[in-house]
A and B are shown apart, each in its own frame.
Chain A
Amino acid sequence: MIAENKVIEVKNLTKKFNNLVAVDELNLTVFKGDIFGFLGPNGAGKSTTIRMLLTLIKPDSGTIKIFGKDLLKDRLSILRNVGSIVEKPDFYGYLTAYKNLEILGKISGIDVSKKLIMKNLELVGLAERYNSKVKTFSHGMKQRLGIAQALLHDPELIILDEPTTGLDPMGMKEIRDLIIYLSKDLKKTIFLSSHLLNEVEMVANRMIIINKGRAQVEGYVKELLNKNKLFVSIEVEDGQIAFNIIKDSRWIDSMRNHINNTFEFNVEANEIPYLNKFLVENDIMVNSIIPKRSLEEYFLKITQEANNGRFNKN
């Protein structure tokens, strides 16, 4: 892909809160036209990353480029072309849906005509309630209003943080259809965070899985979720030597992650013996090849770990 097509380019992004590393040397790239799934269990660092993408939080280190421009230097011109929902959709509850959109549009510096506001409210099915105070809205309605405000200024990039949380299956489907419509018909680039693999699978073309602030796998959804491919974790004696050998081989393409002495590969089942053979032939001492899983199983595993961790803490 050529550089102009990179809508978001994150490099070595790190953010710590006191001693907790929320985002750790994260790299990711979103291309023009992508519906990019940003997948990870709760607490993986998704929200922190999104907040950094939207300048709510300042990174400790690393760079963020959006539309090829440095986010911190060209914040205003970038944000003019970004629409977003961050976490739960909060509004000025004491104002009407219409007034909320009018205010937000004005702050964005656009001409907010009644027509524009109503068009967006219609898109999310809230036109009839335009004059109701937002505090009377259900969660689902607020979620839809959130999408309306994200689209109001006709941005190129739309960042949606868990937009289906708390919705019933019907509502979830509506949102999914809307995302596909935005991508296919309006040619928007969409950055969609979720903790649900199937949700990402249904709409996204590319995705990244993060856990504990680090990227685990990144790639095309179809390829990553290929049922024939397995997700294997290989532990070696010396990770550095192993990596030097792997990086010059064809195996680098299927390597998804590398932390110290542990490598993770996404390979077809019948290729595993060849991978093992390659390592051993290059004098790499393989300690273990941990259970072969599909990406789906892998994601389930890290989600469970995250949830267990959460329950244990409580």
Chain B
Amino acid sequence: MVDLIRIELYKIFKKWRTYIGFIALGILVPLIHIAMLIEGKTTIDFMTRNIQESFVLVGNLLNTYLISYIILTSLAVHIPFLITLVSGDLLAGEATSGTYRLLITRPISRTKLILVKFIAGFIYTNLLILWLAFLSLVLGYFIFGSGELLIIDGQMVIIFESNDVLWRFLLAYGFATLGMTTVSSLAFLFSSLVENAIGPIISTMAIIIVFIILSAIQVDFFQNLKPYLFTTHIMSWRLFFEQPLDINEILKSGFILLGHILFFFFLTLTLFNKKDILT
């Protein structure tokens, strides 16, 4: 099993498309850092404008934490795209290249094959988020240093002590991984149905974008729908930046995402086990 996962990862990392995600983040995050070097002060002033009317503020609010938070918020729509590039290709890529025939005629069960590929996709997702975390937090630390984290939560301003932030980020990245694994499993499901990776990538992104648009429409009907859309819960990593921590809400979102992942996985498994390989 471990051997098979290693093979799958080897295949993933021998493909050029795999590096698109890492390169994209490797460019985007430093770009945001540069933008923040130039415009960061304005951003902070904008965020704290109302507080500054009544209060005198001192301290380094433009720090790696704030920027990492902003990055994680802003890239919420883009990272799924990078994830689907690989996840959408996991099975469809074998169809495109005709290598299903090599795999499925081997003494390996389809279930195992799906499991191995799913785990490999999960590892890729983890690595991409880890890379994001590294670029945001570590690279950001060397540019902007550490400090208190300023969050605007609804109508509340929260400032976290600098030694109260790192664990929140680690958990948030963990949760983001769960969210991205949901995206990955959806792309994986679509990937099992078709013979070309383009379809799964576009379908998954379409669903995510439609869900995000629906959640943004300020009509009661759509707002009531919001808790049932998995995209809403992908953003629940933000719950770790609340005071006090709403454990129930975090667990709820976590279980909803986990439920989606399991559902997508087992649906993929069922469909794939019945699938006639014609490519």
Contacts and interface: CB of A to CB of B under 8 A. Distances in A.
Direct contact of A and B (CB under 8 A): yes
A107 B98 CA distance: 17
10 contacts: A54-B101, A56-B276, A57-B277, A58-B274, A79-B107, A90-B99, A92-B11, A92-B97, A95-B11, A106-B4
A244 to B, nearest CB: 39
A103 B12 CA distance: 13
A111 to B, nearest CB: 11
B75 interface: no
A99 B13 CA distance: 14
Contacts of B105: 54-56, 79, 82, 84, 86
A108 B104 CA distance: 10
A95 B103 CA distance: 15
Interface of B: 3-4, 7, 10-11, 14-16, 97-109, 274, 276-278
Interface of A: 51, 54-58, 75-80, 82, 84, 86-88, 90-95, 99, 103-104, 106-109, 149
Contacts of B101: 54, 56, 86-87, 90
**Looking at chain A's contact residues, is the secondary structure mostly helix, strand, loop, or mixed?**
loop
Contacts of A56: 100-101, 104-105, 276-278
Nearest to A83: B105
Question: 4 closest A-B pairs (Cβ-Cβ)?
Answer: A90-B98, A56-B277, A79-B107, A80-B107
A54 B108 CA distance: 12
B107 A55 contact: no
Nearest to B98: A90
B97 A55 contact: no
B97 to A, nearest CB: 6
Nearest to B3: A106
Contacts of A54: 101, 104-105
A88 B101 CA distance: 10
A55 B276 CA distance: 9
Contacts of A84: 105
A77 B106 CA distance: 10
B106 A107 contact: yes
A100 to B, nearest CB: 8
Contacts of B107: 75-80, 108-109
A52 to B, nearest CB: 9
Contact of A94 (B14, B103, B276, B278): B14
A294 B274 CA distance: 43
Given A87-B101, A92-B97, A92-B99, A103 B106 contact: no
Contact of B7 (A75, A88, A106, A149): A106
Contacts of A86: 101, 105
Greatest chain B CB density within 10 A among A51, A55, A56, A86 is at: A56
B109 A75 contact: yes
A55 B104 contact: yes
A82 B93 CA distance: 25
Contacts of B276: 51, 56-58
B29 to A, nearest CB: 28
A78 B104 CA distance: 13
B11 A79 contact: no
Contacts of A104: 102, 106
